[in-house]
Amino acid sequence: MKRLLIIAGLGLAATASTAQAQLCDGELVEVTEYAGRASYDVVLAAHGGESLVAWSVLDDDGWPSTELTLSHVAADGTVAATRSGFVGFDTVGGIGPMVSSGAVIVHPSTDHEVGVLLREPSGAVRARVHLDDYRPYGRSVARAAFDGAQFVVTWVAGPPEASVLKAVRFDAQGAQLDPTPRVLGPAFAYAPWTGSARIGGATWVLWSTFASSDAEFVAGAAPDLVGVRIADDGQVLDPMPVVLVPGGRGIAMAANGDAGLVLVMAPDGGVQAMTLEPDGGVTPGTQVAFADGEFLLELLPAPGTDGFTLWTHRETFTESPVRVGGQIAGRAISRAGQIAAAPSMTLAGQGGAITTDGHDYVLVTVDETITGAAGEQRLTLRRFRGGTFSPITVETTLAAAPLTLTTTQFCSGPYEPYDGCQAGGPAGAGTMGLIGLGLLALRRRPRRR
């Protein structure tokens, strides 16, 4: 795998080798690392004690490969894997999120068109449904949510100057309920956030947008968090989008019964938990404090309680040789939006994806085991009980790759910083206190969400 080896802030020192003459328009540097890692883009769905995991290995340039792997994991941890072709990649380089009713899995696709893949519980493709044309500018950000009775799929359509949020419903078996998409309101043209969840007998669809399209181009302007309710019969109950949080951009949403929880990023960059009532009332909760290098993994309803859990991941790097690790943490959030001061659970590993089937948590991590000059990287699925966070099944290895300790020379020239050096030039390019060496190709953190 090609390595893009510059990440500011890691502070890894590297010394150029003087044992061999090199031709390098810049400085010759050397990195010792455990090579052989892959970087995964992972999504999963879970229902009735079973899980479906989908992943793609990122290419050298940070985009998913054209091969997607699907693994169906039973409640006891046994796994059956099937290979699939190019299906359902997001335009920004991620697999479209999956949601499941148990009878069907809905998998949004926005690579060349906006649509959904309807999958059997086994993961096999049942049908492909075209919903809209691909946007030439900006993102379509197709999303799907299952509210216990039906799926609601939303996406952004139209040119930047007239972008709108559209929605269409599917029943629990995957049959399309709306003959034509419904327009819910204007949408932020380029990188909008959207979310939907069933709260109090209706589906609330939330998104970030501006009251005026001109505001998108005003320096310092922040979008508002708005929403509409969709009834079970498909009727849009709000004649126009309701402004829920002025100047607040949504980043995550979940529902638990008749209570909703939204994480909102304020203009000052802070993140706050907001409770959403069925009538649209919003009450501020606790401010969310993320540590340095800590990122949101997922916001989920807590199985067996009326609260929620906030899942985060924090990646770690060690130097000489370069090793990659991380920690996943889950914090309880009450129905009123109060966040626990201490994590309910912490677990070593790099967070890939987490979901719940209503009873248990299902977590996919990337783990490394190193012994001397060799090791292994694994994509691992864990299932554990909500509340007690106790493991239910043994860890299930979905993919594994050997790691080997290697030393690589490369040229950090001013014009071609990633080119390899060639023999024949002046001996010894000197020593470099690097601006930070790391494995950028290893990490791609969106998401998402």
Q: pLDDT by residue (tens digit) across 306-326?
A: 999 999 999 888 887 888 889
For 317-374, write each residue's pLDDT tens digit: 888 788 888 999 999 999 999 999 888 888 888 999 999 988 899 999 999 999 989 9
Q: Check which CATH number belongs to the domain holding 169 and give it.
A: 2.130.10.10
Q: Does 186 reside within a domain? A: yes
Q: Whole-angstrom Cα distance, residue 141 to residue 130?
A: 15
Bond into 321 cis (ω within 30)? yes
120: alpha, beta or left? (left if phi > 0; alpha if psi -120 to 50): beta
Q: Whole-angstrom Cα distance, residue 84 to residue 122?
A: 12
Q: Whole-angstrom Cα distance, residue 394 to residue 383?
A: 8
- φ, ψ of residue 71 to 5 degrees: the values are -130, 130
Q: Does 212 reside within a domain? A: yes
Residue found under tokens 């996943």:
328
| pTM of the full structure | 0.82
- φ, ψ of residue 417 to 5 degrees: the values are -70, -15
Q: Does 39 reside within a domain? A: no
Beta-sheet pairing, 271-276 with 182-186: unpaired
pLDDT tens digits, the chain, 449 residues: what are they? Answer: 333 333 323 333 333 444 444 467 677 888 888 888 888 889 899 998 899 998 888 766 655 566 778 899 999 999 988 777 655 555 445 677 889 999 999 988 766 788 898 988 888 888 889 999 887 777 778 889 998 889 999 998 888 778 899 999 999 999 999 999 999 998 877 777 899 999 988 999 999 888 666 666 676 677 889 999 999 899 999 989 999 998 888 999 999 988 999 999 987 788 999 999 999 999 999 998 888 889 999 999 999 899 999 999 998 888 878 888 899 999 999 999 999 988 888 888 899 999 998 889 999 999 999 998 999 999 999 999 887 788 888 899 999 999 999 998 877 766 554 444 443 333 333 333 332 333 333 333 333 33
Range of the domain at 235: 87-288
Q: Whole-angstrom Cα distance, residue 296 to residue 337?
A: 16
Q: Does 119 reside within a domain? A: yes
Beta-sheet pairing, 431-432 with 125-133: unpaired
3-state SS, the chain, equals CCCCCCCCCCCCCEECCCCCEEECCCCEEEEEEEECCCCEEEEEEEECCEEEEEEEEECCCCCECCCEEEEEECCCCCEEEEEECCCCECCCCCECCCEECCCCEEEEECCCEEEEEEECCCCCEEEEEEEEECCCCCCCCCEEEECCCEEEEEEEECCHHHCEEEEEEEECCCCECCCCCEEEEECCCCCCCEEEEEECCEEEEEEEECCCHHHHHCCCCCCEEEEEEECCCCCECCCCCEEEECCCEEEEEEEECCEEEEEEECCCCCEEEEEECCCCCEEEEEEECCCCCEEEEEEEECCCCCCEEEEEEEEEEECCCEEEEEEEEEEEECCCCCECCCCCEEEECEEEEEEECCCEEEEEEEEEEEECCEEEEEEEEEEEECCCCCECCCCEEEEEEEEEEEEEEEECCCCCCCCCCEEEEEECCCEECCCCCCCHHHCCCCCCC
Cβ 28 vs Cβ 409: under 8 Å:
yes
Q: Whole-angstrom Cα distance, residue 391 to residue 64?
A: 31
Instruction: Please count the structural domains in the chain.
Output: 1
Q: Does 415 reside within a domain? A: no
